[in-house]
Chains A and B, each alone.
Chain A
Amino acid sequence: MGKHNFTLYIAGQSEKSLKAVENINRFCIDNYQDSFNLKVIDIVKEPEKAETDGIIATPCLRKKSPPPTITFIGDVSDKFSLAKHLGIDWK
């Protein structure tokens, strides 16, 4: 299995943004150890990216590989649901 590539879109350094970064980071470390990439895009700084990627709700997490692409919105506090959709047995 190749690396897990995630992109997290946040809008500024809000409470939700910071929480989302922390939550997904923890989740990836717990589940993928070091075989993951997490790219964080702050759309306040890079609004063009939000436009081209069609971001409406934030925080927004997209798993791009391995396929299929899956999109999540929210601050990733619901790890159970995230794990279920990523096909991970939640311990």
Chain B
Amino acid sequence: MALHKKRNGRIKKIETGIQGLDIISEGGIPEGRTTMVSGTAGSAKTIFAVQFLAEGILKNGESGVFITFEETPQDIRDNMIDFGWNIEEWEKENRWVFVNAAPQWKDKTTVVGQYDLAGLLTRIEYAVKKSNARRVSFDSLGAIFNQFSETAIIRHEILRLTSALKELKTTTLLTAERTEDFGGLTRYGVEEFVTDNVIILRNVLEEEKRRRTIEILKFRGTPHQKGEFPFTVISDQGIVVIPLSAIELKQTSSNIRVSSGNKKLDKMCGGGFYRDSIILISGATGCGKTLMTTEFIEGGVINEEKCLLFAFEESREQLFRNAMGWGHDFEKLEREGKLKVICEYPEVANLEDHLISIKEDIEEFKPNRVAVDSLSALERVSTLKSFREFVIGLTSFIKHQEIVGLFTATTTSLMGGSSITEAHISTITDSIILLRYVEMFGEMHRGVIVLKMRGSMHDKEIREFTIDGTGMHIGRPFTNVTGIVSGEVHHIMPDEKERMKTLFEEES
């Protein structure tokens, strides 16, 4: 464990232990200093403040002092148990000490002369020394203005407090309430004067969906990633930050090919998919995407590879029945541990949570192949921005694992056009395969084309394919029509007239 990484300059950082935060903060928050965490009501400030101490206890063996100004210690103990933080136990071991600065008296206090907050300061110093604390959280300091109306005194006292903590060499976190997600940093405009380090939590309502983000606004004298990063709050873990742009794309691209599960398709791709690549299959509903996914899995199983399938559109039963219809026994494969199928409604969680659970499933099952059917279903539950981040996060994660990933995307129109998924993912994926309906003389045909295949020669022709009880059969190219990809089919058959003539003759 690298606990105290020394970074450029003299300012050391301390790893918070909050997943993802240490990546975007490039090593944690400045050690021995005060960092402010500002956010509106419901932006997860208290969880942040608690988690900062909890991770210190769990990961670094550092004890902490929690100063609460609004909630009672008992409320905090009760509310945090779901995250797996047993504060009461830590209190018994003297690794966690509460300083309860919430108003405890029912009676009103009257000011009768000069006062200061030496009482609070004394208690904090005592708690820090008693537990030998390295971390201190204030939640939320601004609430002290509800108790005392002499703002000038309080401002001065807050300054005294932070300098006292500096002397104690603790790393301090200060939560501060702000009234708007984009506006003044804090409600009272005081807290920002005592710290050079500011983190902002946002919980913005966008297209009727909540989107949580975290932004490191400033860290004096030490680098950090800029901009907003999505995060989520999940039970058993607390805050998990998704460090999108911070993910380095350093995966090695391999030259090893694996089968798509369909020999003809392999041939079209110039010998199969690359082992650590992402393939996007785009097409209208019912044109064979799920079948391709099924064959992709079968191709893996034949190759002694483990496959993981995330299905967001169909139920387990439906999926298994379909696979059985094409002669693939998914149930048996699951029993043998070769396959794991995870069916979920996209609506059960937000995208950030989906991303995290998908990652966990991949890490746990360690598959060689991952299929997601379909990505488009996940669009429904998110904003465009979140979806984009999700796709980037997922693809870079899969690439890091050096496994082959196959995503499907549903186009909105039957005949052609592109899906939103496609628009956001096409530059990230290594291969794009389009499935299209082709209308020819009153009949629907299906066409497949390998549109893009990074680093490889591939078939440029649009081939017709059929689906029957044994699967997908790719046949000859459409040589006499144009405009299949765009959905505007034109027939250019030279003997078209001849054929038309015979058609009319048949009719009469």
Q: Which residues of A contact B (CB under 8 A)?
A: 9, 11-12, 14, 16, 19-20, 23, 43-44, 47-48, 50-51, 54-61, 68-79, 81-82, 85
Residues of chain B lying within 8 A (CB to CB) of residue A44: 122
Is A60 a contact of B107 with CB atoms below 8 Å?
no
Residue of B nearest to A43 (CB): B122
Given A47-B122, A54-B104, A56-B119, the answer on whether A72 and B114 have CB atoms closer than 8 Å is: no
Residues of chain A lying within 8 A (CB to CB) of residue B107: 68-71
Q: In the docked arrangement, what's the CA distance between A81 and B111, Å?
A: 8
Is B100 a contact of A57 with CB atoms below 8 Å?
no
Q: In the docked arrangement, what's the CA distance between A14 and B110, Å?
A: 21
- Quote the shortest CB–CB distance from A10 to chain B (angstroms): 8
Given A51-B123, A71-B105, the answer on whether A58 and B118 have CB atoms closer than 8 Å is: yes
Q: Which of B104, B110, B119 contacts A43 (CB 8 A)?
A: B119
Q: In the docked arrangement, what's the CA distance between A44 and B338, Å?
A: 66
Given A51-B99, A54-B104, A71-B107, the answer on whether A23 and B113 have CB atoms closer than 8 Å is: yes
Q: Which of A12, A47, A48, A70 contacts B110 (CB 8 A)?
A: A70
Q: Chain B 81-115, CB within 8 Å of chain A: the 1/0 string? A: 00000000000000000011100110111111111
Q: Is B145 an interface residue (CB 8 A)?
A: no
Show 9 residue pairs from A and B whose CB-CB distance is below 8 angstroms, ordered by the A residue: A43-B122, A50-B123, A57-B115, A73-B110, A73-B111, A74-B112, A75-B112, A75-B114, A79-B112
Is A72 a contact of B105 with CB atoms below 8 Å?
no
- Count of A-B contacts with CB under 8 A? 107
Q: Which of B99, B112, B121, B147 contacts A61 (CB 8 A)?
A: B112
Q: In the docked arrangement, what's the CA distance between A27 and B113, Å?
A: 14
Q: Which of B100, B105, B118, B121 contacts A51 (CB 8 A)?
A: B100
Q: In the docked arrangement, what's the CA distance between A79 and B111, Å?
A: 11
Residue of A nearest to B154 (CB): A57
- Quote the shortest CB–CB distance from A85 to chain B (angstroms): 5
Is A77 a contact of B114 with CB atoms below 8 Å?
yes
Q: Is B116 an interface residue (CB 8 A)?
A: yes
Residues of chain B lying within 8 A (CB to CB) of residue A57: 109, 115-117, 119-120, 148
Is A75 a contact of B113 with CB atoms below 8 Å?
yes
Residues of chain A lying within 8 A (CB to CB) of residue B119: 9, 11, 43, 50, 55-58, 60
- Quote the shortest CB–CB distance from B287 to chain A (angstroms): 68
Q: In the docked arrangement, what's the CA distance between A14 and B99, Å?
A: 23
Residues of chain A lying within 8 A (CB to CB) of residue B118: 11-12, 14, 58
With A11-B119, A77-B114, A85-B110 known, 20 other A-B pairs at CB within 8 A are A12-B122, A14-B118, A16-B114, A16-B115, A20-B113, A50-B122, A51-B127, A54-B100, A54-B101, A55-B119, A55-B120, A56-B117, A57-B109, A57-B148, A70-B107, A71-B109, A74-B111, A74-B114, A74-B115, A82-B110
Q: In the docked arrangement, what's the CA distance between A50 and B101, Å?
A: 11
Q: Which residues of B contact A (CB under 8 A)?
A: 99-101, 104-105, 107-123, 126-127, 144, 147-148
The 4 residue pairs across chains A and B that have the minimum distance between CB atoms: A74-B113, A11-B118, A47-B126, A54-B104
Q: Which of A9, A56, A78 contacts B112 (CB 8 A)?
A: A78
Q: In the docked arrangement, what's the CA distance between A44 and B121, Å?
A: 10
Given A56-B101, A69-B107, A72-B110, the answer on whether A16 and B116 have CB atoms closer than 8 Å is: yes
Q: Which of A48, A56, A75 contacts B120 (CB 8 A)?
A: A56
Q: In the docked arrangement, what's the CA distance between A19 and B115, Å?
A: 11
Residues of chain A lying within 8 A (CB to CB) of residue B110: 70-73, 81-82, 85
Q: In the docked arrangement, what's the CA distance between A16 and B157, Å?
A: 15
Residue of B nearest to A60 (CB): B119
Residues of chain B lying within 8 A (CB to CB) of residue A70: 107, 110
Task: Please indicate which of the listed interface residues B111, B114, B121 has the most CB atoms of chain A within 10 Å of its own CB.
Answer: B114
Residue of A nearest to B147 (CB): A56
Q: In the docked arrangement, what's the CA distance between A75 and B118, Å?
A: 13
Residues of chain A lying within 8 A (CB to CB) of residue B109: 57, 71-73
Is B123 a contact of A43 with CB atoms below 8 Å?
yes
